[in-house]
Structure 1
């Protein structure tokens, strides 16, 4: 009798587990950068004749829309988030960001995203070296590192070159992706502002 009761109880447990069904699969979430609102704007354009911003170059890992992260404990291992994606592939996302930022600051008399006809005198080349979320017990952070080159198409001269980076962290315990995307925006804004200031300081 006792063995019959035991078998019955086991069957009930199995049935109850089956009724619960599989765990819910998280929905895909997509993130975009906020529109840049630079604090400083130039009184007059530093570049006249048009500026074309080339698609941003990235290592292969960052060409996928999945947000890339690493942990503080294993900083050399890079992983892609499941279910958390950029709204566009990072090369296009960052190109659009730079166009909006430089337009808002008034760096050039006109800023172009695509310049297939070669109408702009100047061309900005940018490359991403790091575009990572950093995950740890104390919250989340980001590291963004970029290289910039400004070229004069008329003379073939490289006018400026800079390598800039920022590492920013959220308040303790806040590891949400939404907060992380805000940190990416802030890091990009600081890097762009520093590059613009360097360019302005170099002007005669």
Structure 2
């Protein structure tokens, strides 16, 4: 082997070892996925409030809320939303809320049954929940999670509006990691579900 060839091989080997060391030293983060745990209401109603089947429909949301990435804003720049890298919901927020709210209201016994649109059941009532805000506001001590939902209850056949209200909740993040952020989302969502249930329970007989 000539000296020039040997020199070339030594150079190639040195570069390979250098690149290998860099790759080993810079570990690529793994994706993490979060879900909303199903939580039953404190107590089941003695009798349904809605006389008929209730369908929980996925609501409207800004395009950025149709993505699965967890979102955040800075407390000093609330108008700017950004995505966290490698941190995702297992489904879009709209679908997560639709399914978990349906389960919650079914457990509460708010209607004779609570279904989703894909089940193909002829429901008397339609409840739609739009997402107006769904983000982690970063700040001191972990910041807080803020969620704003707009609920709309209507009778499907006539289109009669029975209830409409915007609900907002927030919870401080108790920690500096993403599981703590997800836990705060869980806390806020369960609180909002309870408020939606109370709003539905408050309907006058004439509204039903």
Give the TM interval when normalised to the shorter protein: 0.7 to 0.9
* SS state at 1:96 partner: helix
Verify: 1:113 aligned to 2:116, yes or no.
Answer: yes
| Cα deviation, residue 41, structure 1 | 2.3
- In the other structure, the counterpart of 2:58 is 55
For structure 1, the 5+ residue unaligned runs are: 1-13
Match 2:80 to one of 55, 77, 81: 77
For structure 2, the 5+ residue unaligned runs are: 1-14
Match 1:28 to one of 20, 31, 50: 31
* SS state at 2:94 partner: helix
| Cα deviation, residue 154, structure 1 | 3.3
Equivalent runs, 1:105-184 vs 2, <5 Å? 105-114=108-117, 117=120, 119-171=122-174, 174-184=175-185
CA contact (8 A) 2:35 2:90 kept: yes
Give the TM-score normalised by the residue count of structure 1.
0.85
| Cα deviation, residue 203, structure 1 | 2.6
- In the other structure, the counterpart of 1:91 is 94
Rounded to whole Å, the distance in 1 between the matches of 2:170 and 2:160 is: 32
| Cα deviation, residue 81, structure 1 | 0.8
Rounded to whole Å, the distance in 2 between the matches of 1:116 and 1:170 is: 36
Summarize deviations over 1:131-178 as a string: whole Å, max 9, x none: 00121232131000000010112332111111100111023xx12111
- In the other structure, the counterpart of 1:37 is 40
Summarize deviations over 1:82-128 as a string: whole Å, max 9, x none: 00000011221111111111111111111111157560000011100
- Which has the higher mean CA deviation after the structures are superposed, 137-146 or 76-85? 137-146
CA contact (8 A) 1:41 1:105 kept: yes
CA contact (8 A) 1:140 1:176 kept: no
CA spacing shift, 1:15–1:112, aligned 2, 3 Å: closer
Rounded to whole Å, the distance in 2 between the matches of 1:177 and 1:118 is: 38
Give the TM-score normalised by the residue count of structure 2.
0.84
CA contact (8 A) 1:56 1:94 kept: no
